[in-house]
Amino acid sequence: MFRRLSLFLGLIFLSSSLLYGQSETLSAEDCGITALVTCAKMIGQDQLGIVTSPLRTTPKDLLWIVPFGVAMGLGLDYDAHAMRTLGVDPSRENKFKKVSDYGGLYGPAASAAIGYFLGAKTGNSQLRDTGVLAGEAMVDATIVDQAMKYAIDRERPNTGDGTGRFWPHGLKTWPDGGSMPSEHTMNVWAFAHVVAAQYDGWRTRLAVYSLATTVSASRVMARDHFPSDVVVGSTFGYLIGGFVVRHRSPEKRYFSLSTVNTANGRGLQLSYNFAR
C-alpha cells in the first residue's frame, strides 16, 4: 500500500511539471532537416523544462490534478480485476495490438514526416511547423516514457502473477517490466494535442482525439497494459503535447523576439501575433 501511495504522489508531482517551463527563444521555424543540431537542442531544452518546472505549479492545477488522482486511484485498485474480467483471447489481442501499433506509433510518425516535407515543399509554414512540433512532442514523450518505465518498473499483465506488481524483486532482476506508462498512448496523445492545437477546428479535434482514445483502449484490449498505465500515458502525452505547442509554435505565441540585420548593424525585432 505504501509503494502505491508513493507512486501515486510521485506521478502527480511529475505530471504537474509538464504544465509549465522556462520560456525558450527557439521555435518550430528553427528546426528542420538541415538544422538537426537545433532540433536536438530544442529537445534538450524541453527535457530541462519538464524536469525543473514542478517548482512553478500553482493551486489552479488542482482542476486537473484531482481528476487525474481519482482516475489513478481507481485504476490501481481495479487493474488486476479488469484484466481478469477481460480474459485471454490471442486472436483479439493480436488484432488490437496491430490497431495500436499503426495508430499509436507508425501513423503519427508518418503523418509528422509527411506534414513537414509537404509543408516545406508547398510553402505552407503552418503544416511544416505542425510536422516539426508533432515530431518533437513524440520524441519528448518517448524520453519521458522510457525514464518512467525504468523508475516505476511495473510488470505487464502477461508477466509475473498478472497483478502488475511494482519492483517485484527489487534490484535483483531490474528491470522486470515496462507496463507503466503506455508508450503508444503517450505518443499518440502528444501527437493529437499538437495537431488539435495547430488546427483547432472541431473536425480535426474529433479525428485526432478519437484516434488517441482508440489507441488507448486498444492497449488494454491487447493485454499489453493495465487501465492505469493508459491513464498515465494519456495524461502525460496530452501535457507534453501542450508543453511543446506553448513553447515552440509560432502560430500560438503572442510575442516573438528575433535578431535582424539592419543598415546600422544587428538589431532585435519584436513581433505580435494578432491571430492567436
Q: How far apart are CA 130 and CA 103, in angstroms?
A: 18
Instruction: Name the residue type at position 266.
Output: R
- 3-state class (DSSP) for residue 256: strand
- What pLDDT, on the 0 to 100 scale, is given for residue 6? 53
Q: HSE, CB side, 13 Å, CA atoms: give it for residue 191.
A: 31
Q: How far apart are CA 134 and CA 244, in angstroms?
A: 8
- Determine contact, residues 153/173, Cβ cutoff 8 Å: no
DSSP 108: H
- What pLDDT, on the 0 to 100 scale, is given for residue 26? 83
Q: What is the DSSP string of 170-193?
A: TTSS------SS-HHHHHHHHHHH
Q: What is the DSSP string of 2-71?
A: HHHHHHHHHHHHHHHGGG-----S--GGG-STT-HHHHHHHHHHHHHHHHHGGGG--GGGHHHHHHHHHH
- What pLDDT, on the 0 to 100 scale, is given for residue 276? 38
pLDDT tens, N- to C-terminus, the chain (276 residues):
445 545 544 554 455 445 444 444 688 888 888 889 999 999 998 888 877 766 777 788 778 788 888 888 888 888 999 999 989 999 999 999 999 999 999 999 999 999 999 999 999 999 999 999 999 999 999 999 999 999 999 999 988 888 888 888 888 878 878 889 999 999 999 999 999 999 989 999 999 999 999 999 999 999 999 999 999 999 999 999 999 999 888 866 544 444 555 656 555 444 444 333
Instruction: Name the residue type at position 139.
Output: V
Query: Which three three-digit cell numbers place residue 152?
Result: 516505476
Q: How far apart are CA 29 and CA 131, in angstroms?
A: 11
DSSP 159: S
- Determine contact, residues 183/233, Cβ cutoff 8 Å: yes
- What's the whole-model pTM score? 0.81
- 3-state class (DSSP) for residue 118: helix
User: Environment class of residue 126 by beta-carbon count within 10 Å: exposed (0-12), middle (13-18) or buried (19+)?
Assistant: middle
- What pLDDT, on the 0 to 100 scale, is given for residue 249? 84
Query: Which three three-digit cell numbers place residue 126?
Result: 503552418
- Determine contact, residues 222/97, Cβ cutoff 8 Å: yes
